[in-house]
């Protein structure tokens, strides 16, 4: 099979540590061009991954490259203009989360992808963890009954050391848009996207000024289930913490560690085999699976599994979270 030609715009940490190494391992894809403002970084990374086409202006890449698809891994405030340019040039795109700084910006990108008939995928890699995909299948089978409460959290340092991350006009927000968006997306995806009825959020600015560094939210779903989300760059913990706990009418399930317990005749039965992969392996596999899914969508082998329309719904929820925090009130969607 002919290799899918991919270009990468933005050569920060996510490109260097994830996208470029992963594509290099695949037999059905190749990076043919890269773009990066920092010329020293551009040349160093391009040399490392043997990419001959290199640009300091992404517009030149979009105009000159014969890549079929583009991965956009730049700061959030640049996503809209780069995505629109790529779409209009006939490229399919994978945009690192969040899709944009706001619902309105995201909608412009989604509308353009539909108008020009291009595929748009948003980088929600946690969906592609092997244990998350297994858990979703188990939940859909009804093994733990009807889920009525999900508690999810992610406490770790900032995902990027870039100064733009803590500038609201560039990032769109703080830890909610960095980590919280993943938790919201993963939790609702596991439940098959139930509509959110209302949101109550409180944000904290412990070590930051314009963006929140800790956030706690409660969401009422229209299925009468409750979702609790906590995300933080600043809560003092011994090590990075990531968890998703799901309570159902017939049992309990969780990610990190993977557990599924079902109540049968007053006994609690563990449905997950004893052999479990470690968290780092699962996280790495999530990005590889995401990339394979994107390439499959570009080649029309599978649909887009993390679409622009879904990203729009997440942005709507995130804006309700910020509105709730600002107004100190519950917001109904």
Rounded CA-CA distance 150/166 in Å is 29
Torsion of CA 129, 131, 136, 139, to 10 degrees: -160
Supply the pLDDT for residue 263. Answer: 84
pLDDT band for 288, please (50, 70, 90 cuts). Answer: very high
Tell me whether residue 245 is in a domain: yes
Please give the tally of structural domains in the chain. Answer: 2
Are 146 and 268 contained in the same domain? Answer: yes
8 Å CB contact between 249 and 229: no
Tell me whether residue 318 is in a domain: yes
Tell me whether residue 111 is in a domain: yes
Are 256 and 296 contained in the same domain? Answer: no
- Range of the structural domain that residue 62 is part of: 4-125+288-303
Tell me whether residue 159 is in a domain: yes
Supply the pLDDT for residue 267. Answer: 79
Q: Which of 282, 280, 291, 283 is nearest to 23 (CA)?
A: 291
Are 224 and 245 contained in the same domain? Answer: yes
* Cis? peptide before 118, omega within 30° of 0: no
pLDDT in tens, 149-193: 999 999 998 877 778 899 999 999 999 999 999 999 999 999 999
- Prediction pTM value: 0.94
Tell me whether residue 211 is in a domain: yes
In sequence order, what are the residues at sequence separation of 6 or more whose Cβ sits closer than 8 angstroms to the Cβ of residue 266? none
Supply the pLDDT for residue 273. Answer: 59
8 Å CB contact between 70 and 7: yes
Tell whether the model's pLDDT for residue 316 goes beyond 80.
yes
Mean pLDDT, rounded, for 63-69: 97
pLDDT in tens, 77-121: 999 999 999 999 999 999 999 999 999 999 999 999 999 999 999
Tell whether the model's pLDDT for residue 274 goes beyond 60.
no
Dihedrals φ, ψ of 35, to 5°? -135, 140
CA angle 189, 140, 304 (to 5 degrees): 40
C-alpha distance across the termini of the chain, in Å: 46
Are 65 and 133 contained in the same domain? Answer: no
Residue 14: its H or E element: helix 13-14
Supply the pLDDT for residue 275. Answer: 58
Q: Which CATH number goes with the domain that contains 67?
A: 3.40.50.720
Q: Which CATH number goes with the domain that contains 173?
A: 3.30.360.10
């Amino acid at each position: 099979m002919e290799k899918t030609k991919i270009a990468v715009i933005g050569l920060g940490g996510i490109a260097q540590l994830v996208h470029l190494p992963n594509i290099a391992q695949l037999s059905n894809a190749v990076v043919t061009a890269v773009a990066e403002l920092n010329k020293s970084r551009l040349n160093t990374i391009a040399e490392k991954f043997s990419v001959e086409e290199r640009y300091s202006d992404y517009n030149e890449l979009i105009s000159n490259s014969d890549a079929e698809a583009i991965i956009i891994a730049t700061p959030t405030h640049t996503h809209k203009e780069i995505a629109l340019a790529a779409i209009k040039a006939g490229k399919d795109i994978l945009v690192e989360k969040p899709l944009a700084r706001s619902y309105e910006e995201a909608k412009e990108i989604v509308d353009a992808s539909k108008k020009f008939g291009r595929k748009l995928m948003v980088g929600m890699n946690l969906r592609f963890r092997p244990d998350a995909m297994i858990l979703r299948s188990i939940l859909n089978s009804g093994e733990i009954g009807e889920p009525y409460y999900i508690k999810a959290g992610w406490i770790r340092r900032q995902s990027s050391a870039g100064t733009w991350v803590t500038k609201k006009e560039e990032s769109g927000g703080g830890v909610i848009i960095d980590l919280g968006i993943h938790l919201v997306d993963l939790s609702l995806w596991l439940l098959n996207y139930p509509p959110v009825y209302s949101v109550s959020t409180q944000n904290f600015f412990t070590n930051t000024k314009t963006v929140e560094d800790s956030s706690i939210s409660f969401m009422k779903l229209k299925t009468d289930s409750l979702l609790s989300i906590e995300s933080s760059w600043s809560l003092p913990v011994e090590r990075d913490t990531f968890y998703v706990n799901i309570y159902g009418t017939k049992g309990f399930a969780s990610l990190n560690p993977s557990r599924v317990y079902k109540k049968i005749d007053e006994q609690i039965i563990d449905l997950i085999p004893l052999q479990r992969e470690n968290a780092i392996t699962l996280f790495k596999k999530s990005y590889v699976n995401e990339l394979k899914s994107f390439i499959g969508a570009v080649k029309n082998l599978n649909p887009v599994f993390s679409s622009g329309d879904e990203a729009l719904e997440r942005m709507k929820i995130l804006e309700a979270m910020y509105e709730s925090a600002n107004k100190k009130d519950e917001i109904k969607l």
